[in-house]
Amino acid sequence: MTYSTAVAYLYRLQKHGIKLGLETMTALMVRLGMPQTRYRTLHIAGTNGKGSTAAMAAAVLQAAGYRV
């Protein structure tokens, strides 16, 4: 599949009732009172190294006095 084919496929999905974008989730978060802003998080993503990165981040934060 080429990039152009993939993009065309995604745009066709919108015609079948699938709404692409973050507007729906943003509206939900607003209605819920933006709960994601009430707590601090560290989001770790990627293919490799998440466990090591999380362990290192936890150790650093705990050493600094944070509750992890």
pLDDT in tens, 36-67: 999 889 999 999 999 999 999 999 999 999 99
pLDDT of residue 56: 97
- Cα separation, 62 vs 29, in Å, equals 30
- Cα separation, 36 vs 59, in Å, equals 24
| CB of 44 closer than 8 Å to CB of 50 | yes
pLDDT of residue 21: 87
Confidence band of 20 (pLDDT split at 50, 70, 90): confident
Kindly give, in sequence order, each residue whose CB lies less than 8 Å from that of residue 61, ignoring residues fewer than 6 positions away.
Answer: 42, 68
- Cα separation, 59 vs 18, in Å, equals 42
